[in-house]
Amino acid sequence: MTAPDVRAAAPDYPAKRDAACPFAPPPVLRALAEEAPLSRVTIWDGSTPWLVTGHESQRALLGDERVSVDEHRAGFPLFSQAMRDTLEHRPAMVFNLDGAEHRRLRKILTRAFTAKRVQALRPAIQRITDELIDAMLAGPKPADLVTSLAVPLPSLMICELLGVPYEDRDFFQERSAVGVGGTASAEESGASMQALTEYLIGLVRSKKETPGDDVLSDIAERVTAGELSEVEGGLLGLQALVAGHETSANMIALGTVALLRHPEQLALLRDTDDPAVVATATEELLRYLTIPQVGQRRIATADIEIAGEVIREGEGIIIDLPTGNRDPDVFDAPEALDLRSPQGRHQAFGFGPHQCVGQQLARAELQIVYGTLFRRIPTLTPAVEFDEIEFKHDALAFGVHALPVTW
Amino acid sequence: MNVTVDRERCCGAGNCVVLAPEVFDQRDEDGTVVLLDPTPPEALAGSVGEAVDQCPGRAIEAYDIRP
Q: Which residues of B touch A353 (CB under 8 A)?
A: 11, 56-57
Q: Which residues of B touch A350 (CB under 8 A)?
A: 56
Q: Provide mean pLDDT across the span A348-377.
A: 97
List, in order of start, the domains of chain A with CATH numbers.
3-406 (1.10.630.10)
Q: Which of A79-88, A258-267, A362-371 has the lowest mean pLDDT?
A: A79-88
B14 touches chain A (CB under 8 A): yes
Q: pLDDT (tens digit, 9 = 90+) per residue, A167-206?
A: 898 888 888 878 776 667 778 878 888 899 999 999 999 9
pLDDT over 70 percentage in chain A:
98
Q: What is the pLDDT of residue A182?
A: 62
Model ipTM over 0.90: yes
pLDDT for residue A1 is more than 60: no
Q: Which position has the higher pLDDT, B62 or A240? A: B62
Which stretches within A111-142 are classed as H helix? 115-138
Report the amino acid identity of residue A81. Answer: Q
Segment 23-62 of chain B within 8 Å of chain A by CB: 25-26, 28-32, 50, 53-54, 56-58
pLDDT for residue A37 is more than 70: yes
Q: How far apart are CA A358 and CA A44, in angstroms?
A: 30
Q: Which residues of B touch A106 (CB under 8 A)?
A: 11-12
pLDDT for residue B22 is more than 70: yes
CB contact under 8 A, B31 and A107: yes
Q: Mutate which of A97, A109, A111, A114 to test chain B, going by most B C-beta atoms within 10 A?
A: A114
pLDDT over 90 percentage in chain A:
74
pLDDT for residue A400 is more than 60: yes
> Topology of domain B2-63, per CATH?
Alpha-Beta Plaits (3.30.70)
- Residue A373: which residues within 8 A CB-CB, separation 6 or more? A129, A133, A149, A256, A380
Angle between helix axes A152-162 and A359-376 (nearest 10 degrees) is: 140
CB contact under 8 A, B29 and A111: yes
Q: Which residues of B touch A116 (CB under 8 A)?
A: 17, 25-26, 28
Q: pLDDT (tens digit, 9 = 90+) per residue, A335-352?
A: 999 999 987 789 999 999
- Taking 3-state DSSP, the helix, strand and coil percentages for chain B, each rounded to the nearest 5, stand at 25, 20, 55
Average pLDDT, chain A: 93
Q: Which position has the higher pLDDT, A287 or B64? A: A287
Chain A residue whose CA is closest to B54 = A345
pLDDT for residue A7 is more than 90: no
Q: Is the dihedral of CA B25, B27, B31, B34 positive or negative?
A: negative
Q: Provide mean pLDDT across the span A133-155.
A: 96
CB contact under 8 A, B11 and A103: yes
